[in-house]
Amino acid sequence: MSHVDPPFGMVFFGAGDGAGAGAGAAADGAREVRRIEAGDGASGRVIGTLFDGELLIVELDGSRSLAVLDPRTGALMPLNRDRASAEGFLEAFAHYLAAGPAPSGPTILTAEQAAAKLAALRAGILKPEAARREPVPHVDRLRILRETLARIDPGALGASGWWAGPLEEAGDDLL
């Protein structure tokens, strides 16, 4: 998985708790981590974003668990027990997507996204994809995804958590 286009546009910045670079950390390592006060008295550090900054990933004080904050509404949804678990979920979704059929149609990028992808390719960070194998049937990919996620962080799979949406989309074969 490249750091240029992680699943769900989830990008972490900063090195985290000694965890590996993970999905997107290299791309935004220079961003400043800032503190915020979320609703219901929750506070923490913003350590990443989703969907090109539309949502914030917050490491909550005390538990160090992660949550997704919608800055427009103040809504806070549980994400994972820690950053390593979130990165593991991203890796599992990347495998789910890579094992499926090739994307159809052209990929549309902004000029900034295209420049970042080209720079990563030139730097040797992004490698051209190898020829795809025969796609794994959806039912098998979904089973593997769910088993992997349950092993990584079963508490993140609840209906009130952020991952409920992407899991529903994967179940309906919409990703």
Q: What's phi and psi for 80, nearest 5 deg?
A: -145, 170
Give the number of domains in the chain: 1
Taking each continuous run of H as one helix and of E as one strand, the counts in the chain are 4, 6
The predicted model gives 75-87 an average pLDDT of 93
pLDDT for the residue 43:
84
On whether residue 85 sits in a domain, the answer given is yes
- Under DSSP, the state recorded for 17 is S
Report the alpha-carbon distance of residue 146 to residue 112 in Å, rounded. Answer: 34
The predicted model gives 93-116 an average pLDDT of 84
Is pLDDT of 3 > 60?
A: no
Q: Are 109 and 115 contacting, i.e. CB atoms less than 8 angstroms apart?
A: no
Task: List CB contacts of 153: < 8 A, sequence separation 6 or more.
Answer: 80, 81, 85, 88, 89
The predicted model gives 6-31 an average pLDDT of 54
pLDDT for the residue 121:
84
The predicted model gives 121-135 an average pLDDT of 77
Choice among 115-119, 129-133, 153-157 with the minimum mean pLDDT: 129-133
On whether residue 144 sits in a domain, the answer given is yes
Mean pLDDT of the chain: 81
pTM of the model: 0.72
Between 118 and 144, residue with greater pLDDT: 144
Between 14 and 64, residue with greater pLDDT: 64
pLDDT for the residue 19:
37
Report the alpha-carbon distance of residue 100 to residue 127 in Å, rounded. Answer: 19
Question: Amino acid letter at 87?
Answer: E
On whether residue 86 sits in a domain, the answer given is yes
> What secondary structure does DSSP assign to 45-72, as a single string?
EEEEEETTTTEEEEEETTT--EEEE-TT
Question: Amino acid letter at 158?
Answer: G
pLDDT for the residue 17:
42
Give the structural domain span for 52. 7-98+138-171
Report the alpha-carbon distance of residue 165 to residue 23 in Å, rounded. Answer: 19
pLDDT for the residue 125:
81
On whether residue 103 sits in a domain, the answer given is no
On whether residue 128 sits in a domain, the answer given is no
On whether residue 53 sits in a domain, the answer given is yes
On whether residue 156 sits in a domain, the answer given is yes
Q: What's phi and psi for 58, nearest 5 deg?
A: -120, 130
On whether residue 87 sits in a domain, the answer given is yes
